[in-house]
Amino acid sequence: MSPTDAAAESAGLGYTLLCAPAPRWPPGRRKLSIEGAEVTVKARRVVVGMSGGVDSSVAAALLKEQGYEVIGVTLSLSPKLTADEAAERDDACCTLAAVEDARRVADKLGIDHYCLNFREIFAERVIGNFIAEYRRGRTPNPCVRCNDHVKFEAVLRRARAMDADLVATGHYARIEHCPATERHLLRKGLDPRKDQSYVLYVLTQDELAHTLLPLGELVKEQTRELARKLGLRVADKPESQEICFVVDDDYGSFLRRVAPEVVQPGPVLDLGGRVVGEHKGVAFYTIGQRRALGIATGQPLYVVDIDVRRSAVVVGPEEALYREEVLADDVNLIGVAALDEPIRVQAKVRYRMPAAEGWLEQPSPDRLLLRFDRPQRAITPGQSLVCYQGDTVVGGGTILAAGPGAGRSAQAGQAGPASRVARPARR
């Protein structure tokens, strides 16, 4: 047992996944020694996803400086975006303006650049999931699904067809290899304000082994300063918006076109099942919401549940928002292949929340059950449960249910009405 493991055990923390740091990423050029002479062989080829923003642009520049043969690619994703809409936007990652910005950066860096058409897979795996989740009364996280199916899985597959064995992005996180376990680990980025490990928990061992994240040890201002020194026009470009395929962030109009049933009026119920008002459509509400309920009462009320079977929004007092247990599916474990016993973790159920302590167990291959030490507010089905030990990602999944019933559902191997068919645990 290592000193770290022994300390964790004596403190009653359960099994720990922490591992001694290993080299962060391989050098771009491989050196061979032949009869005393050092020979530099062909540079490793890496495909960098370039969104036209400052982060991916600097990532490409850093990798070129490290000696890699860098190929920039920009993804064409949104099939619903018209040419006029694309031309008017400068805050999204897959518009015509973004492609042009990425191409200019590639020219400045002296690297090849291509635009890849991933519209079909994006429509199926990201937009399709976005619509399906709202139809289930859940709040989707399209950025996680895009990372899962497009920016890493699909891009790595295309990169290999281009004779590249590595992909890279401008995400703020770190990847390391643990010699003791022979597993690749995902760690938080050093900039706590920009850490994006939460949205990368879906990466498999194969994807982690072939991914470079050059910005993991930088803070955002360092990235912008590097871009200025390189003379990149995108140095002060604003952050891309979260839902790139929803124009003007008006997801209500988008859903009216593609899933009108989720924007139909229905009853607002209190915790006793009594009708206390009418909502505009279940898609406009999420767990924890207080505003725009349209209910006049003597106390603040919050959305505590979405009952999609009755097309109802359930409201209650703030204390009804707190839950201790969380059940998740779409499981991906990074630190270990499987959990044989409960372990201590710090967990997030939202990107921006502080991590909270709890016990994590795996009641079945496709389920994770987390019991927080203290109840957490507004745990929302469809969002991601991501668990850490220190700065290392243990793994995560998509939230199915929260509350006392979550543990009972886990034992029964189901998650109630909101459950969906789960994919096997990814490795």
Tell me the residue type at 411: Q
Cα 372 to Cα 198, 207, 323, 383, 403, distances in angstroms: 18, 30, 8, 17, 11
pLDDT at 189 over 80: yes
SS3 5: helix
Q: Which CATH class is domain 9-249?
A: alpha beta
Which residues, 6 or more positions from 11, have their beta carbon under 8 angstroms from its beta carbon?
A: none
| Residue listed under structure tokens 């839902």 | 243
pLDDT at 33 over 80: no
Residues annotated as catalytic are: 146, 244
- Per-residue pLDDT reduced to its tens digit, 71-87: 999 999 876 555 445 44
Q: What is the mean pLDDT of the chain?
A: 86
H or E segment and range at residue 394: strand 392-402
DSSP-H helix ranges across 76-127: 83-88, 96-109, 119-122
What is the residue extent of each domain of the chain?
9-249, 264-316
Higher pLDDT, 151 or 80: 151
**Residue 53 pLDDT class (50, 70, 90 cuts):** very high
Separation between Cα atoms, residue 206 and residue 210, nearest integer Å: 6
Tokens of 27: 């050098």
| Residue listed under structure tokens 């990847």 | 175
- Per-residue pLDDT reduced to its tens digit, 297-323: 778 999 999 999 999 999 999 999 999
- Taking the CB of residue 297, how many other CB atoms lie within 10 A of it? 11
Separation between Cα atoms, residue 387 and residue 396, nearest integer Å: 6
SS3 181: coil
Instruction: Count CA atoms closer than 13 A to 13's CA, side-chain side.
Output: 18
DSSP 271-329: TTS-EEEEES-GGG--TT--TT-----SS--EEEEEETTTTEEEEE-GGGGEEEEEEEE
Question: Strand locations in 118-165, DSSP E?
Answer: none
CATH topology of domain 264-316: SH3 type barrels. (2.30.30)
Separation between Cα atoms, residue 69 and residue 220, nearest integer Å: 25
- Per-residue pLDDT reduced to its tens digit, 106-141: 999 999 999 999 999 999 999 999 999 999 999 999
Chain center to CA of 135: 21
Query: In this structure, are strands 69-76 and 112-117 parallel, antiparallel, or unpaired?
Result: parallel
**Residue 416 pLDDT class (50, 70, 90 cuts):** very low
Q: What is the pLDDT of residue 117?
A: 94
